[in-house]
Chains A and B, each alone.
Chain A
Amino acid sequence: MASILINNGRVIDPANHRDEVASLLIIEGRIQTNPGNDVHADLVIDATDKMITPGLIDMRVSLREPGSEEDETIESGTAAALAGGFTTIACMPDTEPPMDNRAAAEFVILQADRARNCHVIPIGAVTKQCRGEELAEIGQLLEGGARAFSDAKQTIANSEVMRRALEYTGMMNRPIFHHAQVPELIADGLMHEGFYSTLLGLPPMPAAAETIMINRDITLAEITGGQLHLMGITTGLGVKQIRKARELGIRVTADVTPHHLYFKDEDLQTFHSKYKVNPPFRTAEDIQALIEGLQDGTIDVITSDHQPYAEEKITCELDQTPFGVVGLETLVPACITRLIETNLLSWLDLIAKLTINPARILGIDSGTLSDNAVADITILDPSRTQTIDPENFLSKGRRTPFANMELKGGVEHVIVGGELRYSAASLVTGMN
C-alpha cells in the first residue's frame, strides 16, 4: 500500500484536543502523527492553509438501495459522500424492503465493499417493516453489521413498543435513532404551523408534535436506561428539553441538519418543494435555539439527512412530492459558511460534531487522528468559495435548498483506510 505524506496542514483532531499546524504520514493504512523530517512517501500532499481532519462521518443518510435505485444506489450515494468529505456514513433502513433482518444489513455492506468509496454502517430497523408494531430481529441485525437502530422517518408512536425497544437495544448498548413527531398532530401536514401555514393554506405540522414526542422519549429513556438519539431536532423547546434531560443524566443525544440552520417556514412562500422537509423548517427563534444547542453541546452531531429522489418525483405538486432534500455534497460548505465564518462555532467544535461525536454514538472506532489509527482523513479548503450547482452532484438526487447559493469552503482530498479515494483539485505534488 502506497505511503502518503500530508504536509503542513492545520490538524483539527477534537478527540485529542489538537489544533495545530503539522504533518501526517500514512503507512500501511495507519496514521503516524510524528513523521519527523526528511520522510520518504509515495505520495505527498501539500496541505498548506488547509484543514486536516479525521474522516468525516454522516450518521443519517438514506441510500434507497434496494428498492428505489432510480433515486440513489449505494454506489452513487457513497460517491456523493466521498465528494462531500465523508469517509463513513450510516444508512437508514427505509429501503424497499426495509432493512429489518441480518441478510439485508449484510447486503448493504457487500454493496458498499463493491463500490469501494467510503465505509457504510447499516442502521437496522427497530421494528419489522418499520411499522412500529413488533420488534425486528435486532440481535441478528447487530451480527450482520448494524450499529444503531431506527425506523427512519416512521415514528414509533406506540409507547409500549418504544419502551421495549429501548430496553432491548439498551441491553446491547446500542442507540435508537428516533424521528420524534406525534403522527396524528402532523397528519397530511406539509409545513410548520404558524402564520405562513395560515397564509399559504398549507396543512400544518405544529412544533408541539415534536416537543410532545421528545418528552415521551426522554421519559422512556429514563425508565429504561436505553440510549436515545433524537434525529433532526428543529424546535427551541425541544433543545431545552434535551438540555434538561442531560443535566439529569439521561442518555439522550441529538442532531441537526445544516438546512435547518438556514431556512425558515417563510421560505415556502415560493411553494418550492426544495423547502419541503420533515420535520419542517421553523422560525428564526428556533434556529437561534438550535445554534445555542450546538454551542453548549446539547446537540452533539450535524447530519445531512440526505434524502435523494429521482427527477420525476420532485417535479410535481407540493403534496405529491416526498419530503426531503439531498445534503451529502453541501454539508461541509454549509457548515463552514453558517458556523465558522460567523464565529458561532470553533473548528474543533464543528469537526467534533462531524467526527468523534457521531463515532461515539455509533460505537465505532473512528473519528480521530490518533497515532496508529486507521487512516480515514479529510482535507478541507476553508477559503474556497463555490456556487452550489446540483447538476454537478454525484448523488442522483438534485433537490437542495442550497442550489445557486454561494458558500465558503470545500473538500480537497478524502483518504479512506490509507487510500486516496477523492481529490477535488490537483494538489498532488509528487508521485515517487
Chain B
Amino acid sequence: MVSFRDYFQEGPIPWTQSNLLGLQYLSGEEITLILDQAAEFKRLAAEGHSKLGLLKGTVVGNLFFEPSTRTRTSFGLAAKRLSADTVDFSPSGSSLSKGESFLDTARNIEAMGVSLMVVRHKTPGAQLFLSQRMNSPVLNAGDGTHEHPTQGLLDVMTMRERCGDLTGKTVALVGDIRHSRVARSNIWGLTKLGAKVIVCGPATLIPPQIEKLGVEVSHSLDDVIPRVDCINLLRIQFERQRGAFFPSIQEYAHLFGMNATRLKRARENVVILAPGPINRGVEITPHVADGKHSVILDQVSNGLAVRMAALYLLHRRQQELLSFPPEPQVSLI
C-alpha cells in the first residue's frame, strides 16, 4: 500500500493560487486538481486515514461574518482532519459590535498567528478586499451573492462521481439564481469542465444577461427535466429578497418544486442535488430528497473532502512562497 506520506511529499504541485476567491478565477485544470485531491482525501479516509498531519502547526481561522452552521462545521472538521488548530470567529459578541472594522478584526486575528483565513461575508468582494491587505491566504466561504467556491466544487465533485467526465453532460440549476452564490460558482465550475448548464426559475429570479456566461435560460422545469443528467435545486434565499419575487411559496413549489410527478419525466439515472439547507416541500419534496436519485448526503461528505483539498493546496502554496527559513535556535535561559 502506498503510504499517504509518500504521496503528499512528492515535489512541487501545479497549484499557483495564493487564495481561493471564486471558481471564476480558476482554470479547468486547477478545478480538476482540487477535485482529484479531494477524491484522494476521500479515498484515504475510506481506508481509515481519517486524520492526516499535513497542516500540523498551522492555525486556520474560521471568520464567519455571516451566520453559517454547516459550512463552518465542515471547514472546522476539514482543518482538524489535517491536524490544524482552528480558531472560530463570529460577529455576535465580537468587537465588530463595538465598531471595530472588518479589516482590523481580520488583521488582529492574523496577528495572533492564524495563517489561513476561511472567510464568509455578506458583501461580494469582501474576501478579495481582505486578500489584498493581508499576508495569509484567504479562502472564500461565501461572499454575498457572488461566489461560494467550495460549494461549487463539492457539487461538481458529486456530479463527477455519479456521471464520470462532465464534458457534454447537461446540468440544470433550478430556483433562485439571482440571489445565489452557489449558482454562480456552479456555472463557472461546470462550464470550465465542459458541461452544459441550464438555469431554470421564475423570470424574477434569473438575473439579466446571465446567458452571456454561456448558459441556457428556461422558465419551465417540466421542459428541462427530461434533458438533463443532473438537477441542482437551489434554496430560495428568503433572507436576501427585498421585494416580491414570486407570489407565494405554494405557487413557487407548484411551478418549480421537485416532486415525484416531475421526477417521472426525468432520465432513469438522473442525479438530484440540493446544496442545503433545504426547504422541504418548497424546492424539493421529502420523497425526492430522501429517494434513490438524491445525493444530498454525498454532497455533505464530499464537502469535507473538497475543503480539506482547498486548505491543503493553499497551505502548500503558502509554504512554497515563504520557502521556510531554517528552524530558529532557541536558547534556554
Contact = CB atoms under 8 A, between A and B. Distances in A.
Contacts of A158: none
A201 B123 CA distance: 9
Nearest to A206: B208
Given A188-B242, A193-B208, A317-B121, A201 B184 contact: yes
B242 A201 contact: no
A199 B183 CA distance: 11
Q: For this complex, into which size category does the number of interface residues on chain B fall?
A: 20 to 34
B190 to A, nearest CB: 16
A319 interface: yes
A317 B208 contact: no
A189 B101 CA distance: 22
Contacts of B102: 316-317, 320
B145 A201 contact: yes
B253 to A, nearest CB: 25
Given A316-B101, A316-B102, A316-B103, A200 B212 contact: no
B283 interface: no
Q: For this complex, into which size category does the number of interface residues on chain A fall?
A: 20 to 34
B208 A271 contact: no
Interface string B105-134: 000000000000000011111101100000
Nearest to A312: B101
- Which 8 A/B pairs are nearest by Cβ-Cβ distance? A271-B125, A201-B145, A201-B146, A198-B207, A195-B209, A317-B123, A201-B124, A319-B123
Contacts of A201: 124, 143-147, 181, 184
Contacts of B101: 312, 315-316
Given A198-B212, A201-B146, 12 more contacts: A188-B242, A195-B212, A200-B125, A202-B125, A271-B128, A312-B101, A316-B102, A317-B121, A317-B125, A317-B126, A318-B124, A318-B125
B87 interface: no
Interface string A295-323: 00000000000000000100111111000
Nearest to A193: B208
B213 interface: yes
Contact of B123 (A193, A199, A318): A318
Interface in A126-173: none
A204 B242 CA distance: 12
21 contacts: A193-B208, A195-B209, A198-B207, A198-B212, A198-B213, A199-B213, A201-B124, A201-B143, A201-B144, A201-B145, A203-B145, A204-B208, A270-B128, A271-B129, A312-B101, A316-B101, A316-B102, A317-B126, A318-B124, A318-B125, A318-B129
Contacts of A1: none
B210 interface: yes
Contacts of A271: 124-125, 128-129
Contacts of A355: none
Nearest to B181: A201
Nearest to B133: A315
Interface string B199-239: 00000000111101100000000000000000000000000
B242 A194 contact: no
B37 to A, nearest CB: 27
B207 A197 contact: yes
A187 interface: yes
A389 to B, nearest CB: 19
B124 A200 contact: yes
A200 B124 CA distance: 7
Given A198-B207, A200-B146, A315 B126 contact: no
B229 to A, nearest CB: 25
